[in-house]
Amino acid sequence: MRRARSSSNKAEHYRGDKYAIDDSYGYLMRRLQASLLRHIDKRIRPYDLTALQWGPLLLLAQNKGNTAAALARALEIDTGAMTRMVDRLETKKLVRRTRSTGDRRVVHLELTSEGRRVVEQVPFVLADVLNLHLTGFTRAETEQFVDFLRRMIGNGSGTDVAR
- Per the model's pLDDT, the better-predicted residue between 12 and 82 turns out to be 82
* 116 found inside a domain: yes
- What was the pLDDT predicted at 66? 95
Report the C-alpha gap between 33 and 40 in whole angstroms.
10
Of 105, 124, 109, 130, the C-alpha closest to 56 is 109
* 2 found inside a domain: no
* 118 found inside a domain: yes
* 80 found inside a domain: yes
Condensed to tens digits (0 to 9), the pLDDT of residues 137-153 reads 999 999 999 999 999 99
* 5 found inside a domain: no
Q: What's the domain count of the chain?
A: 1
State which residues form the domain around 116.
24-151
Q: Which residues pair with 99 in a beta bridge?
A: 107
Q: Is the pTM above the cut of 0.85?
A: no
* 158 found inside a domain: no
pLDDT-above-70 percentage for the chain: 91
The residues near 66 (Cβ < 8 Å, ≥ 6 apart) are: 60, 108, 109, 110
* 16 found inside a domain: no
* 121 found inside a domain: yes
Condensed to tens digits (0 to 9), the pLDDT of residues 30-83 reads 999 999 999 999 999 999 998 889 999 999 999 999 999 999 999 999 999 999
For 4, other C-beta atoms within 10 Å of its C-beta total 5
C-alpha of 3 from chain center: 33
The CATH number assigned to the domain holding 104 equals 1.10.10.10
